[in-house]
Each structure stands twice: as C-alpha cells, then as structure tokens.
Amino acid sequence: MKLLSILGATGSIGTSALEIVRMHPDRFQVKALTAANNLPLLRRQIQQFMPEMVAVLDEAKARELGDMLPPGVRPEILSGASGYAAAAAWDKVDTVVLAMVGAAGLNPALAAIEAGKDIALANKETLVMAGDIVMAKAREKNVTVLPVDSEHSAMFQCMLGNQARDVKQLFLTASGGPFRNTPQSDFPGITREDALNHPNWSMGNKISIDSATLMNKGLELIEAVHLFGISHQNIQVLIHPQSIVHSMVGFADGSVMAQMGVPDMKQAISFALSFPDRLDTGLSFPDFAALASLTFCAPDSERFPSLAFAREACEKKGTLPAVMNAANEVAVQAFLDRRIRFSDIFTLVSTTMAAHTCIDNPDLSGIIEADRWAREKAGSLI
Ligand code: NAD
Ligand code: MG
C-alpha cells in the first residue's frame, strides 16, 4: 500500500492521479491533498478519498474549505507555502505526487526530498529552475525521482533493462501544438482560446500555452538533461503530430527504442506510481491500422524560438534556466490575461534572458533571487 500526498490535486495531473487511485484502492491510499483553487472539486475529492491532511494555498480559501465540509469529514486543513511543504514532508506519507504548476513547486519538492519521500514528478519547472540542486539532494537522500511527464516516462521506460552508459541519444517528441502549421504572419492574431485548444492533449492552462509556443519542449529538454544526466546536444527534438511515440532512446549499437501509447497521461502517471509494476488503466492501444502513418520532422526554429532559448540556458547554465522559466511564467500569465499578444511571449522571454547577468553554480537563494529578478524584469516589459 502506497501512502500518497498529491500536491496540486485539482489540476489536470492531480485529477488523473486520483483516477488511478480510485481504480486501485488496494494499492494506494491518499493521505494528503493540496490545491490552490477549485474548492468545490477539492471538497468532492476530500469526501471521496478522505485524506487526513489538506493544504490550500490561500488562507481565506482554507477557512472557506473548512466551512464547506460536512460534519464527520474533518481533515487537518493547513494553508500557505508552509502548508504545501508540510503535506510534502509529512511522516504518514511515503510518495509525493508533485502536480502543482510552476516555480511554486520547488519549495515543496525540496521539502519532500529532504524528508526522504519518493517523488512522482510532473512539475518540470522545479528541475528547470534548480535541477542540479534537486537531483543532488535526491541522490544524497537516496530518493527516487520518477518522471510523470510522458516524454520522460517514455525515455525512462526505454532505458529499463539497458545500461546507462550505452545511452547515446534521446529523441524528445513534440506534437507541435495547435500552431504547427500556422504561418508566422498569423501569430499576432492568435487568441487565448486558439492557444488553449491543444490538438492531442487535455491539460492545464499554463502547459497548454507552453505547448503552443514549444516552450514546453524547451522546459522538457532541460528536464531531460537533469533526469538522465545527458547533454542537451545529445537530445534531438522531433515534431510528431500524432503523439503516439512518446519519446525514444538511441543506444551505442544504433538500436532505437520507442515507447508508444494513446495520448493520455494516465499511462505515465500510473507507471510512476506503480513502478516496476504496470497497472490496468483501462486505456486502449493505439489503432495503428487506422493511424496508417506516424510522421516525424524537425521543429521550425524561425516560428518557434523557444527551443533555442532552452538550449542557450543549457549552455550557460547557472541562473539562466531559472530566469527563462520565470520570464516565461510571467509572459504566459500575461497572455492568458489578454495583456500581451502570443508573439510577445517570445520577446518577453528573450529580452529578459538577454538582460540577465548569469551567476554560475548558484545556491538555492541565488536561484530564488534570479527568479524574483526575472519576474520583475519581464513584468516591467509588459
Ligand atoms: P493545472 O493548472 O491543471 O493544475 C495545477 C494544480 O496546482 C491545481 O491543483 C492548482 O490548484 C495548483 N496550483 C496552481 N498554482 C499554484 C501555486 N502557485 N502554488 C501551489 N499550487 C498551485 O496544471 P497541470 O496541467 O495539471 O500541470 C501540473 C504540472 O504538471 C505542470 O508543471 C505541468 O507542466 C506538468 N505536466 C502536466 C501535464 C498535463 O497533461 N497536464 C503533462 C506533463 C507535465
Ligand atoms: Mg510532456
């Protein structure tokens, strides 16, 4: 029986993780849930899974939640970043699902690792910001970090049964997002609704916009560098519009292994939770005959410069990845709030990165300061 803390329970990954728990009550018990918003959903989740601890980011909302719960349902309700960290580090929990969005994931991720919990990691921003620190801490504490991101889960699955030293190349696949075939001249007219309408995956708002700009693939490139200890130069990004091949690994002998499945996060989430076992998720196999072809091509760096930003961040390292991530978070939120245009996201990120004086080998406070600086800089550009 795995005792779970799910951080970001009301989101797209959080709800899918709870669906796996619901299907396998003999294997998982939910001990703690956290969320920043959607209290009605959180209330239903609490009633269904009966966690003993709940954390809500905002203090007033935490009180509101307490009033919403029926008599007899009385979890301990915490609030704020400290509440999230407590839910991540609680002794009654052995596995933490990091499914909150954005830089806010870093603090609870470190709290969970410090407390020796195994990690199912969806929150890629944590590794982008502070991958060296997080992975070093995980090694020190002997903590397993299992990827939930489908591409990284695919790579991890392809590596099983092989030796790390034989891995030569990673092939990171991308759907290409909703604007894969959109001419650049149409970019200024792209609306929030157009950008949220992902062709293959149903996801939270932030990652949907990141998929539309290909910044999601840039973040995933850096995530892969940290998870697998490989240079970004040995990671090739491929546009694969069908999203059936979730990523591939190339080995010393020229062999390439691919992991495939229908585009549904339940596969990767369940594997991170049940590894090395595989659980019944109810998912069907891809209908290969109906698909007829799987295609691959190189990304268009003219229209989508995000991958070049991420490669630059990989080259310069230090505080630059955190700056890229923070500027992107600010830009995406501004686009979602209809304050900037789609193409302004690229400008905001590149201008903020160019203005940054990179600090090598930063400690945690250096990264947090770079994140704060980049938010202020990107905000001033809006
Ligand atoms: P989402 O927006 O659907 O859900 C985010 C969850 O985090 C919600 O429960 C929300 O209440 C909470 N939250 C939001 N802001 C917060 C904050 N500042 N502090 C604490 N909690 C906060 O997001 P999602 O699509 O589920 O994505 C979550 C993470 O997983 C992201 O890092 C994303 O990149 C990654 N991811 C998502 C998918 C996907 O299919 N959705 C796939 C791969 C990776
Ligand atoms: Mg992904």
Nearest to 235 by CA among 296, 155, 319: 155
Range of the domain at 292: 152-263+283-307
Pick from 121, 147, 173: which residue ends a domain?
Answer: 147
Please report which helix (H) or strand (E) contains residue 363, including its range: none
Amino acid 199: pLDDT: 81
Same domain, 233 and 258: yes
Pick from 93, 114, 147: which residue ends a domain?
Answer: 147
Contact 216, 304 (CB under 8 A): no
Same domain, 191 and 291: yes
Q: What would the mean pLDDT of 332-336 be, rounded to a whole number?
A: 98
- Give the tens place of pLDDT for each residue, 123-158: 999 999 999 999 999 999 999 999 999 999 999 999
In three-state secondary structure terms, 168 is: strand
Spell out the residues 6+ positions from residue 144 whose beta carbon is closer than 8 angstroms to its own. Answer: 118, 119, 138
Is 276 part of a structural domain of the chain?
no
- Specify burial of residue 287 (Cβ count, 10 A radius: 0-12, 13-18, 19+): exposed
Which of 10, 12, 173 maximizes ligand 1 atoms within 8 Å of its Cβ, making it the mutation to test the pocket? 12
Q: Amino acid identity of 178?
A: P
C-alpha span between 67 and 322 (Å, rounded): 38
- Structural domain count, the chain: 3
Is 23 part of a structural domain of the chain?
yes
Strands (E), the chain: 2-7, 28-35, 53-56, 76-79, 95-98, 118-121, 145-147, 167-174, 235-239, 245-251, 256-260
Same domain, 156 and 256: yes
CA of 57 to the centre of ligand 1 (A): 13
Same domain, 133 and 251: no
Q: Amino acid identity of 357?
A: T
Taking CA atoms only, the protein residue closest to ligand 1 atom 11 is 36
Amino acid 200: pLDDT: 82
For ligand 1, whether the C-beta of 11 sits within 6 Å is yes
User: 172 is written with which tokens?
Assistant: 């990171």
Contact 283, 266 (CB under 8 A): yes
Same domain, 60 and 125: yes
CATH of residue 116's domain is 3.40.50.720
User: 25 is written with which tokens?
Assistant: 């009550």
* Furthest C-alpha separation in the chain: 63
- Give the tens place of pLDDT for each residue, 214-272: 999 999 999 999 999 999 999 999 999 999 999 999 999 999 999 999 999 999 999 99
Which of 6, 37, 100 maximizes ligand 1 atoms within 8 Å of its Cβ, making it the mutation to test the pocket? 100
Nearest to 303 by CA among 177, 205, 191: 177
Is 37 part of a structural domain of the chain?
yes
C-alpha span between 368 and 376 (Å, rounded): 12
Contact 172, 151 (CB under 8 A): yes
CA of 16 to the centre of ligand 1 (A): 12
Same domain, 14 and 124: yes
For ligand 1, whether the C-beta of 13 sits within 6 Å is yes
Same domain, 43 and 139: yes
Looking at ligand 1, which atom is closest to the CA of residue 14? 26
Mean pLDDT over the full length of the chain: 97
Instruction: Based on DSSP, count helices (H) and strands (E) in the chain, helices before strands.
Output: 16, 11
Query: Which residues belong to the annotated binding site for Mn(2+)?
Result: 149, 151, 220
Is 378 part of a structural domain of the chain?
yes
Spell out the residues 6+ positions from residue 102 whose beta carbon is closer than 8 angstroms to its own. Answer: 123, 125, 206, 329
Same domain, 340 and 201: no
CA of 216 to the centre of ligand 2 (A): 7
Is 278 part of a structural domain of the chain?
no
Q: What would the mean pLDDT of 351-372 be, rounded to a whole number?
A: 98
C-alpha span between 16 and 3 (Å, rounded): 17
**Predicted structure pTM score:** 0.98
Same domain, 341 and 302: no
CATH of residue 323's domain is 1.10.1740.10
Is 277 part of a structural domain of the chain?
no
C-alpha span between 5 and 100 (Å, rounded): 12
User: 272 is written with which tokens?
Assistant: 């991170």
Is 273 part of a structural domain of the chain?
no
CA of 163 to the centre of ligand 1 (A): 33
Pick from 275, 307, 339: which residue ends a domain?
Answer: 307
Amino acid 107: pLDDT: 97
Same domain, 366 and 339: yes
Q: Give 280's pLDDT tier (boundaries 50, 70, 90).
A: very high
CB atoms within 10 A of CB 230: 18
Contact 82, 104 (CB under 8 A): no
Is 298 part of a structural domain of the chain?
yes
Same domain, 129 and 181: no
Contact 2, 29 (CB under 8 A): yes
Q: What would the mean pLDDT of 32-55 be, rounded to a whole number?
A: 98
- Dihedral (C-alpha) 205, 206, 207, 211: value to the nearest 10 degrees? 90
Amino acid 198: pLDDT: 82
C-alpha span between 247 and 244 (Å, rounded): 9
Pairing relation of β-strands 53-56 and 95-98? unpaired
Same domain, 221 and 363: no
